[in-house]
Amino acid sequence: MFEDYGPKDQDVTKDVKMLFVTDVHVRDRPVSNRKELETYFQDIDDKAKELEVDAIVTAGDYTDYDTPFWEGKHLDFAFEKLNAVGKPVYAIHGNHDRMENVVKACDRFDNIDYVVGDHRKAGGYSFVAMGGEGPTDHPHTPGHHDNDIIRGWLDDGYKLAKDSGSTGKDTIVISHAPPKGTGYQRFRNNYESELRAFTDEIRPLLSVSGHTHAYGCEVRAYKDDFELFFDLDRKEVKLKKENGYRRTLDYEQLENGVKIDGEEIKLTKMDGGGYCIDMGSLQIRENRRERETHVTFNEREWETTTYLNQNALKKGVFGYMRAREYDSGTHQLDIYGNVSPETEAIEAIDGDEGDPAYELWG
């Protein structure tokens, strides 16, 4: 199921496989979606067992913002299904969820841990998290928090991760809303400035989020005095140097071969669709239609952070992914958005009020 683009002659020192679930929005009023969700959770159960995942990560919005009575019932419904899979579940709350109710619901189930401001480890990788959403212009939902609280959660969790021996390259950050400035985050003001500052500082292997009901994946790579931003949605690579120099390259230019500070970037089309961007010790393979992204890099030359915003249940999908580290310092991250052409994800496009994309914001 997982492609293996890592070195074939080296030992794997860390290896984690996980499912990512977000924005199930259980509801009973005015129309119940529980029948639809029964099938959805069964698919999660089947895939978790097929892949033998180490953990399930769930990023909030289990409810559709109802009264505390109904919210409790919706949380129990979702958590009963996830708990029954029999795998560790790392849970946070979303902006539609009351934090205190999610905490209580997690305590009722043996396999579900509330990880906001905390830390968990699986397959040698650390998971740290923030919950809910920061200050925003749509305060009608209950899961909103001041920026200092959000930063405190992230710092507390990362301190525990460092105490366990982790650094940024083997840390996975979970949030409900995506970080500020990520290319797919274009709906209203629902971004996380403190989260983006945090990921810029620690440069985690992966930052994964939901909330927008759109799919997007992008990669930022750091080396010496420059940063590369691989915008996989727009098919562009952006260069930024410490001296202020900036340059944007599209895929057509990359097909002809381009050098940056002596580093050659090669782009080739892959069999079956998609592209491979090759810089030697850094390779990115992506197939936007199939929602697949594969990042391979060597830590002796590069640091990378991949930002994933997973499409939500509105299209009935969930994501799964694997991270591996080899004894040479090579890392491999595989992301599968699990979206078929029949359930095409909502594209992350610029949206203004009245546009369909704007109205689908969560």
Can you tell me the distance from the alpha carbon of 48 to that of 237, in angstroms, rounded to the nearest whole number? 34
Q: Which residues does 37 contact at the CB level (< 8 Å), separation at least 6?
A: 24, 26, 77, 78, 81, 313
Residue type, 287: N
Can you tell me the distance from the alpha carbon of 139 to that of 142, in angstroms, rounded to the nearest whole number? 7
Q: Is 115 helix (H, G, I), strand (E, B) or coil?
A: coil
Q: Is the model's pLDDT at 353 over the cut of 50?
A: no
**Buried b / exposed e along 49-77 (16+ C-beta atoms within 10 A):** eebebbbbbbbbbbbbbbeeebbbebbbb
Can you tell me the distance from the alpha carbon of 13 to that of 326, in angstroms, rounded to the nearest whole number? 5
- 173 in Cβ contact with 199 (< 8 Å): yes
DSSP at 144? B
- 318 in Cβ contact with 18 (< 8 Å): no
Structure confidence by residue, pLDDT tens digits, 193-214 = 899 999 999 999 999 998 887 7
Q: Which two tokens stand for residue 1?
A: 């199921």
Q: Report the pLDDT averaged over residues 75-91.
A: 97
Q: Is the model's pLDDT at 361 over the cut of 90?
A: no
Structure confidence by residue, pLDDT tens digits, 248-277 = 999 988 988 888 777 889 999 998 889 999
Rounded alpha-carbon distances, angstroms, from residue 137 to 144, 192, 305, 351: 11, 13, 28, 16
Residue-level pLDDT at 352: 36
Can you tell me the distance from the alpha carbon of 14 to that of 223, in angstroms, rounded to the nearest whole number? 23
Structure confidence by residue, pLDDT tens digits, 12-52 = 999 999 999 999 999 888 888 888 899 889 989 999 999 99
Residue type, 1: M
Q: Is the model's pLDDT at 107 over the cut of 50?
A: yes
Estimate to the nearest angstrom the gap between the alpha carbon of 114 and the chain centroid: 17
Domain-by-domain residue ranges, the chain? 12-215+310-329
Q: Is the model's pLDDT at 79 over the cut of 90?
A: yes
Domain 12-215+310-329 maps to which CATH number in 3.40.50.10190, 1.10.20.10, 3.60.21.10, 3.30.420.40? 3.60.21.10
Q: Which two tokens stand for residue 220?
A: 């930022």
Sheet holding 112-114, edge to edge: 112-114, 89-91, 55-58, 12-21, 319-326, 330-336, 292-298, 282-287, 275-278, 263-269, 258-260
Q: Among residues of the chain, what percentage have pLDDT more than 90?
A: 57
> Quick check: bond before 204 cis, omega within 30?
no
Sheet holding 226-231, edge to edge: 119-122, 125-129, 171-174, 206-209, 303-309, 216-223, 226-231, 236-241, 246-250
Q: Which two tokens stand for residue 351?
A: 């949206």
Longest Cα pair distance anywhere in the chain, in angstroms? 62
pLDDT confidence band for 354 (50 / 70 / 90): very low
